[in-house]
Structure 1
Amino acid sequence: MVSKVTTVAFQGIEAVPVDVQVHVGPGMVAFNVVGLPDKAVAESRERVRAALSASGLALPAKRVTVNLAPADLPKEGSHYDLPIALGVMAAIGAIPAEFLTDFVVLGELGLDGTLAPVTGVLPAAMGANALGKGLICPQSSGGEAAWADADMTILAPGSLIQLANHFKGTQVLSRPVARLHGNAGNLPDLAEVKGQESARRALEIAAAGGHNLLMTGPPGSGKSMLASRLPSILPPLTPRELLEVSMIASLAGELGEGKLTDRRPFRAPHHSASMAALVGGGLRAKPGEVSLAHNGVLFLDELPEFSPQVLDSLRQPLESGEAVIARANHRVTYPARIQLVAAMNPCRCGYLGDEALACGRAPKCALDYQGKISGPLY
């Protein structure tokens, strides 16, 4: 028998439908997963086997083949565990297959049958809503899924047994509630700054016009302190911006407890950050700091200490508002409309112009230090 369960693969912030096709038939006893799975997906067969056993179900002594279609699309991540498990349960008759046709499913299984949170639940919920389907996701991720649409059906069980009981009618799963993070009182606020009239005025102008900003001054003059308070005078996120920011944060696994926030993001990577960390990339082409700061502020402290190649990689996102990550087998685009704020010392010692504290190489050290930043970025 063949059963089908719908899940998603992620291309940027877009959720692409994937059919999990499970066939249980005669042949040598085996459990195979095909369709370009990565290591995490290939290992799902062991988690599924253990989770089904812990839930009181044993795999039959038959050949189980799982195909992830389309087969030429790379599949990455652990969120394929739950759709594979439900597909196996439907194929052996443990649950009616027709119950799964109206849902997109994702979730990671523990060996005891519990469901662990996964990344990308909000984009998956948006994709499921576009398909006219509901969503099945882990309980801890249900809060972010509820933001996709107030009318769509969302099931957020804590374990495989709870979901099976819901389909049997012996347990009812309530719809998760969409929640926002409250604005904590300890967030940096520009109202706390006393004095610094010129710097405050520069921040106000930059906030009003969405301008990029470079602050230059000696150590301890308050550059980092002022930059961290810029989001406090930026307007709240619009509903559309809120969803865009939250979808990126969801893919990066940075939505705590499934709660969204209407405060604009503020990202301040260390100057040792690599190009992949800043603009995105890596084996799974994850969003970088420039995308995580989308519709917010990217703050680069000690600007000349960043690698020149890393700084130049920001030129394209700043011009187009997108971070494009090209690989041999796929191409991913993440939104990256940011307000760039940077801070730097006037020279390496930081005290250019102060005869008492400046080093003996001044002013040549200032030219060398500032020369690390390319002209186009200026």
Structure 2
Amino acid sequence: MLSQLKSCGLLGVNGVIITVEIDISRGLPTYSLVGLPDIGIKESKDRVFSAIKNNGYKYPMERITINLAPADLKKEGPAFDLAIALGILNASEQLNWDHPEDYLIIGELSLSGEIRSVNGVLPMVLAAKEAGIKHILVPFDNRYEAAVVQDVDVIPLKDFNEATAFLKNELIIEPFKVDLRSILTLEKSSHAIDFSDIRGQDLAKRALEIAAAGSHNVLMSGPPGSGKTMLAKGFSSILPDLTIDEALEITKIHSISGLLKNNAIMNQRPFRSPHHTISKTSLVGGGRIPKPGEVSLAHLGVLFLDELPEFQKSALEVLRQPMEDQEVTISRVNASLTFPASFTLITSMNPCPCGYLTDPVHECLCTPQQIKNYQGKISGPLMDRLDIFIEIPSISYDELQIKPKGESSQTIKKRVDAARERQNKRYQDLDIFYNAQLTPKLLEIFCQLGAAEKNLMEKVYTKMKLSARGYHRILKLARTIADLDDADTISVTHLSEAIQYRGMTKQF
């Protein structure tokens, strides 16, 4: 007898509906699985056999053929276990239920029949909704993640017997529901440092406020212990809150990567801080079956690269394309996948190998050639893609002990939120959300300069030997400063502040 059920696989960050076709016919007992399955799916044979046998059902000792359609799409992972097991029972007439095509079945089976959680449930349920499938059977531990999708019935299951009892109408399981807004307002596990805890560094805090308001990339340079890492971690505390659509987009990426905490929706912007030994594949994504890298895991959040010159140069160079396009395309023989990568890049570095080139207290022991080689590890094209360059001086004892605390992150965040709101209104009819996304064509519309401003930029362009990209980035930065100032037009004051953040490039 033939049985057809619906399950789901993954293609990039999207779910793909997979039809699980199972045919049981007379012949020698064999188990044939086709449809480009990976090793994890092929091993489902033993998990399915034990789960069926250990839950009181008869495993058919006949010829079993299983096809995962479409057959030309590579499938991976254990998410098909439950669908295969239920399909075998259905094909062997041990289990019958009305309209099996109306169900999407997801779950890994243990040998005892326990249904274990799987990665990528959210994009799978979204794919089911788009396909018109209303009933979703998911592992109990994935219930919160699945239930954030509205207008579908999410049925959480703990074990194989519970699944069969539900399908035979012997057990009633109410669809699991969640309130998206309540999840987003849950207490957030914060790794951020409040800006009021950082003494001094007022200029750096101002620069980071501008970066947060317009999603601009930042490089901080200063001696060891000056507070670069604390400032980077504090940056997360002044970013705008997530919207529901942003939370779902981030959750999809973390779901397929198996990084969801407590199997719930992401309710805060990601902060990714990879070690400098990271490979370029781990940074931008890849692998035999491409997976998201750090740039995608930092989507709509922060990618912090501490000690920037210590990273492999090949790894840093692959950042250039996602910084411009805000996405990463990875091509393989079987498919070409695109992962989103709209992140704010925050980087830090010492000015020289010993770290004390700009420190007034400590003497620098590096030779000019060592300093040149050290700073030369960061290429000009990569530096040109950064918007803000800040020198972080060391803190004196008096500043550390006497200086009163500065503004709190919450106070700064209110100004950032107001600036972002101005940008949202300005770009509401366009496919952009903040100033860093402005294209050259849009710059002509939204960053028009008066006579005095044009005269200033002409002088600066020649004196600083700017590239066209550097010129455009100054305009974007000035537009953000004007938004923080609640100004409709860019003035000389706004341009002057934006220009000073490019001054450090002359060192490289």
Task: Please give the range of the TM-score, normalised by the shorter of the 2 chains.
Answer: over 0.9
Secondary structure of 1:270's match? coil
Q: Deviation per CA, 1:76-100, whole angstroms, max 9, x where unpaired?
A: 1111111111111111122215342
Which amino acid in 2 is paired with 1:135?
Answer: I
Q: Deviation per CA, 1:300-328, whole angstroms, max 9, x where unpaired?
A: 00111111111111111111111111112
Q: Which residue of 2 aligns with 1:108?
A: 108
Q: Which residue of 1 aligns with 2:93?
A: 93
- Give the TM-score taking structure 2 as reference length: 0.72
**2:63 is the alignment partner of 1:63:** yes
Between stretches 20-29 and 169-178, larger displacement belongs to 169-178
Q: Which residue of 2 aligns with 1:136?
A: 137
Report deviation, 1:356: 6.5
- How far apart in 2 are the matches of 1:260 and 1:8? 20
Q: Which residue of 1 aligns with 2:257?
A: 252
Secondary structure of 1:156's match? strand
Q: Which residue of 1 aligns with 2:212?
A: 207
Report deviation, 1:207: 0.6
**2:223 is the alignment partner of 1:218:** yes
Which amino acid in 2 is paired with 1:136?
Answer: L
Q: Which residue of 1 aligns with 2:411?
A: none
**2:329 is the alignment partner of 1:324:** yes
Q: Which residue of 2 aligns with 1:73?
A: 73
Report deviation, 1:359: 4.7
Q: Deviation per CA, 1:110-144, whole angstroms, max 9, x where unpaired?
A: 00000111000000010011111121110000110
Report deviation, 1:354: 4.4
Q: Deviation per CA, 1:13-37, whole angstroms, max 9, x where unpaired?
A: 1111111100011111011111111
Larger-Rg structure = 2
Secondary structure of 2:45's match? helix
Change (3 A) 1:263 1:338: same
- How far apart in 2 are the matches of 1:185 and 1:343? 21
Which amino acid in 1 is paired with 2:223?
Answer: P
Q: Which residue of 2 aligns with 1:275?
A: 280
Between stretches 189-198 and 299-308, larger displacement belongs to 189-198
Report deviation, 1:258: 2.0
Contact 2:2 2:22 in 1 (8 A): yes
Which amino acid in 2 is paired with 1:138?
Answer: P
1:231 to 236, 261, 264: 236
Contact 1:231 1:263 in 2 (8 A): no
Which amino acid in 2 is paired with 1:123?
Answer: P
Q: Deviation per CA, 1:238-262, whole angstroms, max 9, x where unpaired?
A: 1111111010011111112221232
Q: Which residue of 2 aligns with 1:51?
A: 51
Between stretches 185-194 and 251-260, larger displacement belongs to 185-194
Report deviation, 1:156: 1.1
Q: Which residue of 2 aligns with 1:338?
A: 343
Which amino acid in 2 is paired with 1:39?
Answer: I
Secondary structure of 1:317's match? helix
Q: Which residue of 1 aligns with 2:270?
A: 265
Contact 1:281 1:287 in 2 (8 A): yes
Secondary structure of 1:211's match? coil
Which amino acid in 2 is paired with 1:362?
Answer: T
Report deviation, 1:284: 2.6
Between stretches 306-315 and 355-364, larger displacement belongs to 355-364
Which amino acid in 1 is paired with 2:44?
Answer: S
- How far apart in 2 are the matches of 1:129 and 1:230? 37
Which amino acid in 2 is paired with 1:59?
Answer: Y
Which amino acid in 2 is paired with 1:58?
Answer: K
Q: Which residue of 2 aligns with 1:13?
A: 13
Q: Which residue of 1 aligns with 2:195?
A: 190
RMSD: 1.5
Secondary structure of 2:291's match? coil
Which amino acid in 2 is paired with 1:93?
Answer: E
Report deviation, 1:68: 0.6
Secondary structure of 1:294's match? coil
Change (3 A) 1:240 1:198: same
Contact 2:351 2:358 in 1 (8 A): no
- How far apart in 1 are the matches of 2:98 and 2:2? 12
Change (3 A) 1:347 1:239: same
Report deviation, 1:360: 3.5
Larger helix fraction of residues: 2
Contact 1:352 1:362 in 2 (8 A): no
Secondary structure of 1:40's match? helix
Uncovered stretches (5+) of structure 1, i.e. residues with no partner = none
**2:146 is the alignment partner of 1:145:** yes
Change (3 A) 1:166 1:233: same
- How far apart in 2 are the matches of 1:238 and 1:372? 38
Which amino acid in 2 is paired with 1:317?
Answer: P
- How far apart in 2 are the matches of 1:173 and 1:370? 62
**2:391 is the alignment partner of 1:371:** no
Contact 1:352 1:363 in 2 (8 A): no
Report deviation, 1:332: 1.1
